[in-house]
Amino acid sequence: MRFVKGHGTENDFVILPDPDGVLDLTAEAVVRLCDRRAGIGADGVLRVVRTKATDVDADAEWFMDYRNADGSIAEMCGNGVRVFARYLVDAGLAPPGEWDLATRAGPRRVTLGPSGDVSVEMGRPELLGPAEASLAGANFAGERVSVGNPHLACRVTGPVAALDLSRAPDFDPAVFPAGVNVEFFRSVGERHVEMRVYERGSGETRSCGTGTVAVAAAAARGEADGSEWTVDVLGGRLTVVLDGETSYLKGPAVLVAEGETRPGWI
């Protein structure tokens, strides 16, 4: 099985080229690929498949089939979209420029050159009202946000580095029956926040693209439309633009290695 390894602000992925949709990608195979000690290691898997080879109804040529590290299927991944787009250009499967990718959360428009950062239109984040998370016996008020997938963005007053995210935050499963990505964020300047995230299906990750959009939207509640936010994550820095109609996420997408798994290993 051929693979490419890439990351966006250290949110890392195993990319599996499967243009004709012939790969039978089981949850068990995803878990083995993402294992950081016995596998390649990643926060998730990006299967690269032509949309016409799937049952997805979309005009985009390519579909991002995203799987979490535990093998579960996810709707969207903001860092994953950027890495996916960078792979397509690097492999000669798409030209530099601006075009759509198909995802389970709908089409996402990407803009990128032959190298450098990638920008992706993420859609309009939906603010869905308050909810609460608890961590290490403390309760945190948060905002429910949909960015094509579910988020709970919780504002904190102290440094996010002080939080213990070695275990999953607790939340009300009646509010989040499909699970939720939980972000903790703190303001560190004008339209500038720092955050950490515990992703459903993956645990704490170095970055979460949809999570940065959720945090920016929660932090910007009540502001006039049209704002640019800087979001610092463990793996680097991302830029989120909110214009009242949609949102944009810009940041690095880096390919670091490629190879073949050993015959019979998966």
Query: Distance between CA 115 and CA 117 in Å, rounded?
Result: 7
Q: Which of 208, 214, 217, 242 is catalytic?
A: 208
Cβ atoms of residues 1 and 260 within 8 Å: yes
Rounded CA-CA distance 29/31 in Å is 5
Q: Residue 208 catalytic? A: yes
Token output for 115? 């190298």
Count the Cβ atoms, other than its own, within 10 Å of residue 188. Answer: 12
Q: How many residues does the chain have?
A: 266
**Active-site option among 40, 45, 60, 77:** 77
Can you tell me whether residue 53 is helix, strand or coil?
helix
d(CA 74, CA 150): 10
Task: Show which residues are catalytic.
Answer: 77, 208
